[in-house]
Chain A
Amino acid sequence: MATMTMAKALNAALADAMLDDERVVVFGEDVGQLGGVFRITDGLQARFGDKRCFDTPLAEAGIVGFAVGLAMSGLRPVVEMQFDAFAYPAFEQIASHVAKLRNRTRGALSVPIVIRVPYAGGIGGVEHHCDSSEAYYAHTPGLKVVTPATVEDAYSLLREAIDDPDPVVFMEPKKLYFSSAEAELPARTAPFGKAVVRRAGTDATLVAYGPAVPVALEAAEAAREEGWDLEVVDVRTIVPFDDATVTASVRKTGRCVVIQEAQGFAGVGAEIAARVQERCFHALHAPVLRVSGLDIPYPAPMLEHTHLPSVDRVLDTVARLQWDDQPDERWVAA
């Protein structure tokens, strides 16, 4: 066991994958000599050479489209989109080709590409550097969408993403890059499609993913003072989604709050809330509530803490889970 950051675990996952499989190539903007703006590819070019890890022209559609061609030739491309909002030029390549080539060709072609996207905020970044863009990808059939919240998961999920026969959008929470934990590598945690209970509890379930998981855990600790024993489920893989683990938890607790950092409307949290109420209606003592970012363009750094889901906002929401079986004041006027 050693203490390491999520950034280091991701770097180790890339290095180990390149060591194990010579088809793995890593490329993008500044990933070579510089090692990426977040240093996730640090040292890979020096260790594996500039054919295995290389810089490209500054063009995201080009990077992803190039990866499609490389995958067609039999390689396993892992590409970096430097920031969440910088990936938008690549969206056509992702939605029309990466996601669909297997389907369009009845399985004859597959494009096992990993698109790494540093995402979400909480780091004081200026505009276009803090978007939570996971819903765009999760809404696109053919993509798997994965986001780690722990150091060991970061390693394990990235290794699994690179091994996966399907394209994976690998969303890396920027604000957790330099969070550290005890970890033993090579770690292999739960596979894709498995959510994990991070904290057991009996009174309500908090469902979260990526950067919202530490918020949920902190809120659960704080809730003990209020007399609530909260369970925290880390979704880990948005696609494929683990209905079974989430519904088992909610059936046990009877109450559920879904937490995401992204703006709420039509988001992943909305999907999760809908799925929970469809499947757990008779076990629920309260409507499924959501805590999310506000429905605004990502704010300037000095205002981002109003936008981001906070422990207080989570606790306020938990307080509205029909503990006294009274109509929720928020909705009465409406």
Chain B
Amino acid sequence: MTTTPQAVRRASPRTRRPATPAAPDPSDGLLPKSEPVRLLNPDGTPLPARDDYPEPPVEALREMYRRMVVGRRFDAQATALTKQGRLAVYPSSRGQEACQVGGVLALRDTDWVFPTYRESMALTARGIDPVEVLTLLRGDWHCGYDPTVVHTAPQCTPLATQCVHAAGLAYGESYQGRDTVALAFIGDGATSEGDFHEGVNFAAVFKAPVVYFVQNNKYAISVPLSRQTAAPSLAYKGVGYGVPSEQVDGNDPVAVLAVLNRAVAHARAGKGPYLVEAHTYRMEPHTNADDQTRYRDAEEVEAWRDRDPIARLEAYLRNRGVLDDAAVAAIAEEAEAYAAALRDRMNAQPEVDPLSLFDHVYAEPTPQLVEQREQVRAELAATRAEEGDA
């Protein structure tokens, strides 16, 4: 689809009307490009530079590469931890490294991230302690990090509900005179949820500085994109809310960061929300508990290996002369050390305190909770006494 201004169409010679200035097409600037923005070919060779999406500084791209490599190693380690019984479950984002890292690299530390359960890699790339990130999946509590310290909401399991929180937080921040941007991660399946609609709509109506970042990885567990939408692409949903939107090759790290940089700048400048759809692919099953052979062919997955985002960025950076064998080896070594440290820390059995169940239900426990806490305390004491007798 093109965004030909109406003025041009009306002034066509066939109608012989004089070229009078017409009102601008209200969808101008809202519709995405008809093809995803791409700055690198799959083999890492650059495409022509473009004015609308300037290439990010090479230092940023090199840092992006480093975090993507560490992120992928983290992701593999987390999957291994499920096999060792250290994690209850793990939803991998292997293959989505450009999006996971780009989504947080485009932000300042003071900006807020609203992640889903698939954003563990993004959160570690943001610098959050990986053990705190995995607390939810290990199961010793729900959210393991302090959201107010790392400016990151708890990983959201209910689909799309975080879209509205992001709108509220972003509006609240601007209401109080701060230039915070909120970035909400969301998947393709969750764009079918009502809260996606309500979140983007609220953000648009209140001009909240939010970037909605859809990682379209083609599957919602087993259900393909064709069952989520009949839209030409998910980025086309933005125009219905009056929100400028773009689609990007989600496996092109340079393009992902370039598009997100523009979206974040748009939001920070007070122009309201922005919707970005990244076309990517989930290389692993939904979680370690899923069987993807029931809904997709191995050939399909294999075909996406040729579009690997890390290999793509590595080739590009090597060609640019900012990455060599030694640097690649050093980053790989750093990733190994990161994974080893994580494995060691996750091998320690976390201590859980049953009495802590009653903390943080309310600021002050109700009398009923005080009673139940006392009951549990007595049960525990009795158990300990029995164990002592044994």
Interface residues of A (CB under 8 A from B): 25, 51, 56-57, 59, 61-62, 64-75, 89, 92-93, 96-97, 100-110, 141-142, 144, 165-166, 193, 239-244
Are A57 and B201 touching (Cβ within 8 A)? Answer: yes
Q: Is the CB of A62 within 8 A of B161?
A: no
B182 to chain A, nearest CB (A): 8
Q: Is B131 an interface residue (CB 8 A)?
A: no
Within 8 A of A (CB), among B107-162: 141-143, 146-149, 153-154, 158, 161
- Asked, given contacts A57-B201, A109-B147, whether A75 binds B362 with beta carbons under 8 Å apart, the answer is no
Supposing A65-B165, A102-B362, A243-B367 touch, asked if A73 and B202 sit within 8 A by C-beta, the answer is: no
Q: How far is the CA of A89 from the CA of B170 in the complex (A)?
A: 23
The reply to whether B147 and A105 contact each other, CB–CB distance below 8 Å, is yes
Find out whether the CB atom of A102 lies under 8 angstroms from the CB atom of B363. Answer: yes
Interface string of B347-362 (1 = CB under 8 A from A): 0000000000001111
Of the A-B pairs whose beta carbons lie under 8 Å apart in the complex, a sample of 23, sorted by A's number, is: A57-B201, A59-B202, A62-B198, A64-B164, A65-B167, A65-B168, A65-B195, A68-B168, A70-B168, A70-B171, A71-B172, A72-B147, A72-B168, A72-B169, A103-B142, A103-B360, A103-B361, A106-B359, A106-B360, A109-B148, A142-B362, A193-B366, A240-B366
> Inside 8 A of A59's CB, which chain B residues have their CB?
198, 201-202
CB <8 Å contact, A105 and B154:
yes
List of B residues within 8 angstroms of A107 by Cβ: 359-360, 363
Interface SS of chain B: helix
Q: Are A97 and B168 in contact (CB under 8 A)?
A: no
| B376: min CB distance to chain A, Å | 15
The verdict on A62 contacting B164 (CB below 8 Å), with A105-B146, A108-B147 known, is yes
A61 to B171, CA, bound (A): 16
Q: Let me know if B289 is at the binding interface, CB within 8 A.
A: no
Interfacial chain A residues near B205, Cβ < 8 Å:
56-57
Q: How far does the Cβ of B57 sit from chain A's closest Cβ, in whole Å?
A: 31
Given contact pairs A51-B175, A72-B172, A240-B362, a sample of 7 additional A-B residue pairs in the complex whose CB atoms are under 8 Å apart: A61-B198, A70-B168, A89-B194, A93-B164, A102-B360, A106-B141, A109-B148
Chain A residues near B361 (CB-CB < 8 A): 102-103, 141-142
Let me know if B161 and A97 touch, CB within 8 A: yes
B166 contacts the other chain (CB 8 A):
yes
Known: A102-B363, A239-B366. A65 touches B173 (CB 8 A): no
In the complex, A289→B368 CA distance in Å? 23
Residue of B nearest to A62 (CB): B198
Given contacts A69-B166, A108-B147, contact A61 B359 (CB under 8 A): no
With a CB–CB cut-off of 8 A, which chain A residues contact B163?
A: 65
Check if B176 is an interface residue, CB within 8 A of chain A.
yes
Residue from the set A25, A65, A109 with the largest chain B CB neighbour count within 10 Å: A65
| Partner pick for A61 among B149, B170, B195, CB 8 A cutoff | B195
Does B273 have its Cβ within 8 Å of any Cβ on chain A?
no
Q: Quick check: is B238 within 8 A (CB to CB) of the other chain?
A: no
Q: A57-B201, A73-B176, A93-B161 are in contact. Are A104 and B359 (CB under 8 A)?
A: no
In the complex, residue of chain A having the shortest beta-carbon distance to the beta carbon of B204: A57
Whether the Cβ atoms of B161 and A65 lie closer than 8 Å is: yes
Across the interface, do B148 and A108 meet the contact criterion of CB distance under 8 Å? yes
Q: Which B residues are in CB contact (< 8 Å) with A242?
A: 367
Please give, as numbers and ranges, the residues of chain B lying within 8 Å of A75 by CB-CB distance: 172, 175-176
In the complex where A61-B194, A70-B172 touch, is A110 in contact with B363 (Cβ < 8 A)?
A: yes
Contacts of A73 in B (CB 8 A): 168-169, 171-173, 175-176
In the complex, chain A residues whose CB is within 8 Å of the CB of B148: 108-109
* A25 to B171 CA separation, bound complex (whole angstroms): 12
Knowing A69-B168, A73-B175, say if A241 contacts B366 (CB, 8 Å).
yes
How far apart are the CA atoms of A240 and B362 in the complex, in Å?
10
Pairwise interchain contact A193-B161, C-beta atoms closer than 8 A? no
Q: Which residue of A lies closest to B205 (CB)?
A: A57
Q: What are the residues of chain B within 8 A of A62 when measuring CB–CB?
A: 164, 167, 195, 198-199, 201-202
Give the size range of B's interface with the partner.
35 or more
- Give chain B residues whose Cβ lies under 8 Å from the Cβ of A69: 164-172, 182
Name the distance in Å between B168's Cβ and chain A's nearest Cβ: 2
Q: Closest residue to A242 on the B side, CB-wise?
A: B367
CA of A34 to CA of B155, assembled, Å: 38
For the complex, give the distance between the alpha carbons of A2 and B57 in Å: 69
A105 & B143 in contact (Cβ 8 Å cutoff): yes
B154 partner, pick from A74, A93, A104, A241, beta carbons under 8 A: A104
Residues in B whose Cβ lies below 8 Å from that of A74: 172, 176
- List chain A residues, Cβ under 8 A from B202: 56-57, 59, 62, 65-66
The answer, among A57, A70, A108, A166, for a CB contact under 8 Å with B169, is A70
Residues of chain A contacted by B143 (CB below 8 angstroms):
104-106, 108
CA distance A68 to B161 in the complex (A): 10
A246 nearest CB across to chain B (Å): 12
Are B158 and A92 within 8 A (Cβ)?
Answer: yes
Give chain A residues whose Cβ lies under 8 Å from the Cβ of B168.
65-73
Distance of B81 from chain A, by nearest CB (Å): 22
Q: Which residues of A contact B166 (CB under 8 A)?
A: 69
- State the Cβ distance, B177 to closest chain A Cβ, in Å: 11
Report the minimal beta-carbon distance from B78 to chain A, rounded to whole angstroms.
20
Residues of chain A lying within 8 A (CB to CB) of residue B367: 193, 240-244
* A25–B206 CA distance with the chains assembled, in angstroms: 14
Task: Report A60 CB to chain B, min CB distance, Å.
Answer: 9
In the complex, which residue of chain A has the Cβ closest to the Cβ of B173?
A73
A73-B168, A141-B361, A239-B366 known; A92 vs B201 contact (CB < 8 Å) = no
How many Å lie between the Cα of A62 and that of B201 in the bound state? 9
Chain B: CB-nearest residue to A69: B168
A25, A51, A66, A142: the one contacting B164 at CB < 8 Å is A66
Shortest A328–chain B CB gap in Å is 30
* Inter-chain contact B141/A65, CB cutoff 8 Å: no
**Contact residues in B for A89 (Cβ distance below 8 Å):** 194
Contact partners of B363 in chain A: CB under 8 A: 102, 107, 110, 165-166
A245–chain B nearest beta-carbon distance, Å: 11
Q: How far is the CA of A240 from the CA of B369 in the complex (A)?
A: 10
Complex contact A72–B165 (CB within 8 A): yes
By beta carbon, the residue of chain A nearest B136 is: A104
Query: For residue A51, which residue of chain B has the nearest CB?
Result: B175
